[in-house]
Structure 1
Amino acid sequence: MLALIFLGIVVGLLSGFFGIGGGTILVPLLLALGYNTKVAIGIAVVQMVFSSIYGSYLNKKNGSLDFSIVLYIAIGGFAGAMLSGGLASYFSDTTLELIFLLFATFALVRLFFKVEEHKEHRKLNKILLFFIGLSVGSISMTIGVGGSLLIVPILVGFLHVDLKRAISAGLFFVIFSSVAGFISHYMSGHIDLHTGLIVGISSLFGVYIGIYLKQKVKHALQRKLIIIFYVSVVSYLIYRIFG
């Protein structure tokens, strides 16, 4: 119980600090603790419901969340994530870990390329935004990640959204994808609700600290820390799958 509470606080802190749903952090940690892949993904989905709702509330409170930016993408994300439980059941644990490894590797590589920020937003077709959300929601929730890691560069690079607002919008997207992902994974029998609730509720305290620290630290330090984290995740998954 104490270990799960501590795990939830750490995951929540990193989720709030880096503006991610938490699954990218939690799934590898749960795998290291001996949980099988599908159950680890299910627990991560439960945690993301808590951290994304509370984190978005805090972001709205501090003025960094603009609902209009991500609304249609979020609706698409909800629809896509409803497919995630069935997709996860279709793949083997090893295949899911390989997909997760590819996702984490993409996240790491992306950190070495600067996404150009623009002063003015670019308006895109609402149907296109919906299908972007649909694709990201279905893929990300299948492996137990919120999808903000893909949404943020899309918002900044293609829609010309300010980086801090894009990070807040990415976490808001995770509300839709994680709630739908929870429903889908629960129906597929992947949810350990007891463990998920302990980790999820504990993560709220960590989210509060993480968002507070995000506003205080310099971007350069934040970037170095997340690079260290993803190098660790990728190294562990490579060892687990191929070692």
Structure 2
Amino acid sequence: MQIYLPIAEVSVNAFLLLGLGGLVGILSGMFGVGGGFLMTPLLFFIGIPPAVAVATEANQIVASSFSGVLAHLRRKTVDLRMGVVLLIGGLVGAALGVLVFNYLKSLGQVDLLVRLCYVVFLGVIGALMFVESLRAIRKAKRSPGTPPSRRKHRGWVTALPFKMRFRTSGLYISVIPPLLIGVAVGILAAIMGVGGGFIMVPAMIYLLHMPTKVVVGTSLFQIIFVTGFTTLLHATTNFTVDIVLAVLLLVGGVVGAQIGTRIGTRLKAEQLRILLAIMVLVVCGKLALDLLLTPSELYSLGAAGGH
């Protein structure tokens, strides 16, 4: 069933969009990522213009993340205090990101920037997570009977001032690292149309030393507000939010998130991380190929305002 998307100015199969929304919702519930890092490139692949894909995808992330957070709140695996600190940084970052996005859009360079950002970030994060997960799985196999060793809280993170106690995570650390992580994720949310979970989840585990079971719910909590704010800014400054596209992705995403949360509780943390790493690397490879190979159509009509 073909449906016309008024802002994107293309016709797409409605069931395909529902399916994509559902798939990304499952990932959201399983890994604590908004899923935008996967959905936005998938929208590029089916012909949605990057500027519209970035702005609209934020809507779907809000819905699937909200659905996932409800499930985690019931299990008491959300550190609300940490979530608020990350959120403050995230809102500042989102505002900065939209300013950069609008400037590049006025130069006509936004499509290339978005694709390049994806290739670089997905390649780096995917490779790091893959190597680390393999190492963790090898360690677990070597000593199956022994409990995992607690991470030592050393280094620059513990030496910083402005410390705060985060009871749910069992931490007493400076608020500066979480704020900076929030700012970085907010900028990415605005420029790349992502929740930023694929950066925030590893940062919370390896930099802040948060327990993995609390990381997923806390990440989703922050993602809801940052992506909601980003959507609002894009809708009021760029007018690139396609409501028809957003609703179809949203319906699929909400259903998928509930399924994903159930699957996530049955897999070990190392297995979850290696699965996520493989998916990140596959999407990165496809995007890199699209940038390097000659397109089938050398000329295409740009959207209004493009150069």
**TM-score relative to the length of structure 1:** 0.91
2:292 alignment partner in structure 1? 242
Tell me if 1:206 matches 2:252.
Answer: no
1:143 alignment partner in structure 2? 192
Q: Which structure has more helix as a fraction of its residues?
A: 1
SS in 1 for 2:172: coil
User: C-alpha distance in 2, partners of 1:168/1:98?
Assistant: 29
Is the CA contact 1:86–1:184 (under 8 Å) kept in the aligned structure 2? no
Is the CA contact 2:90–2:226 (under 8 Å) kept in the aligned structure 1? yes
Is the CA contact 1:148–1:173 (under 8 Å) kept in the aligned structure 2? no
Aligned pairs for 1:93-172 within 5 A: 93-111=111-129, 112-113=131-132, 118=151, 121-126=170-175, 129-172=178-221
Greater shift in the superposed pair: 76-85 or 25-34: 76-85
Q: Which structure has more strand as a fraction of its residues?
A: 2
Q: CA deviation at 1:103?
A: 1.4
SS in 2 for 1:124: strand
Greater shift in the superposed pair: 155-164 or 128-137: 128-137
SS in 2 for 1:217: coil
Tell me if 1:85 matches 2:98.
Answer: yes
**TM-score relative to the length of structure 2:** 0.73
SS in 2 for 1:123: strand
Q: CA deviation at 1:153?
A: 2.6
2:233 alignment partner in structure 1? 184
2:275 alignment partner in structure 1? 225
Deviations 1:30-84 (A, max 9, x none): 0110111111111211111101111111111122112122211112202221333
Structure 1 unmatched runs, 5+ = none
User: C-alpha distance in 1, partners of 2:81/2:180?
Assistant: 16
SS in 1 for 2:248: helix
User: C-alpha distance in 1, partners of 2:67/2:281?
Assistant: 28
User: RMSD of aligned C-alpha atoms?
Assistant: 2.1
Distance 1:217 1:153, change over 3 A: closer
User: C-alpha distance in 2, partners of 1:68/1:104?
Assistant: 29
Number of residues of Structure 1 aligned to a counterpart in Structure 2 = 243
Structure 2 unmatched runs, 5+ = 1-13, 137-148, 154-169, 294-307
SS in 1 for 2:88: helix
User: C-alpha distance in 1, partners of 2:74/2:34?
Assistant: 19
SS in 2 for 1:216: coil
Q: CA deviation at 1:151?
A: 2.0
User: C-alpha distance in 2, partners of 1:33/1:213?
Assistant: 28
User: C-alpha distance in 2, partners of 1:235/1:128?
Assistant: 31
Percentage of matched positions with identical amino acids: 27
